[in-house]
């Protein structure tokens, strides 16, 4: 089990490094008054994640150093399961400085060498969000924790100019690697496509 986890982490780090090189966004692209500082995110995330937040500061610092300061973030919960093919469903609230708070839902299919189920608390950092409606798209990605510290995992997804960095902490028994996408919507739906 430890070897499989190490293999997933190493594979995901390689993907993140390749992804990150093409996704990095200059911090000057957004007004500072529109963005959230690393301290804001660690404080909010610490309250949200609770006792499992020991690795949160390190993971947030990693995201901020790679992508700059986000202009929105999402707090929510999601769950997924798979037996080769799988699905993930989640819901939460998106917070922005200038456009308020908005309920948000996500769902998506996956396929791969993947078995089991999991549930997570999730904080997603949102970069380059020009309007609230810009987030309602399909974001492809490879699931697996690309960067893990103290039980907190980070991955990266991109659609157009918008970059999402989900930071998860959860429970469950799920092993493997899969590819798929997450579709963000204003209303909940059971259709993962």
Q: CA-based diameter of the chain, in Å?
A: 45
pTM (2 d.p.): 0.77
pLDDT, position 149: 58
Question: Does position 165 have pLDDT exceeding 70, yes or no?
Answer: yes
CA 13/CA 35 separation, integer angstroms: 26
d(CA 139, CA 149): 24
Cα distance between residue 156 and residue 15, in whole Å: 9
Where b means 16+ CB within 10 Å and e means fewer, 141-153 reads: bbbbbbbbbebbb
Average pLDDT, the chain: 79
pLDDT at 3 over 80: no
With CA atoms as reference, report the closest residue to 189 among 87, 75, 74, 83.
87
CB 83, CB 39: distance < 8 Å? no
Which of 14-18, 42-46, 136-140 has the least mean pLDDT? Answer: 14-18
- Please count the other Cβ atoms lying within 10 Å of the Cβ belonging to residue 135: 24
Reported as a single tens digit per residue, the pLDDT across 80-125 is: 888 888 899 999 999 998 899 999 999 999 888 777 788 889 999 9
């Amino acid at each position: 089990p430890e070897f499989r986890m190490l293999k997933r982490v190493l594979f995901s780090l390689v993907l993140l490094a390749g992804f990150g090189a093409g996704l990095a966004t200059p911090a000057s692209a957004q007004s500072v008054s529109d963005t959230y500082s690393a301290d804001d995110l660690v404080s909010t995330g610490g309250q949200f994640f609770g006792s499992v937040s020991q690795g949160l500061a390190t993971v947030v610092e990693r995201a901020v150093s790679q992508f700059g300061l986000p202009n929105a973030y999402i707090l929510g919960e999601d769950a997924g399961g798979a037996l080769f093919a799988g699905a993930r469903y989640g819901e939460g609230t998106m917070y922005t400085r200038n456009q308020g708070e908005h309920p948000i839902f996500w769902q998506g299919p996956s396929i791969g060498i993947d078995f089991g189920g999991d549930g997570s608390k999730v904080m997603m950092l949102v970069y380059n969000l020009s309007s609230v409606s810009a987030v309602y798209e399909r974001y492809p990605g490879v699931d697996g924790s690309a960067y893990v510290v103290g039980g907190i995992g980070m991955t990266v997804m991109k659609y157009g100019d918008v970059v999402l960095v989900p930071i998860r902490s959860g429970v469950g028994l799920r092993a493997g690697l899969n590819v798929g996408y997450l579709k963000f919507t204003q209303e909940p739906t059971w259709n993962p496509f």
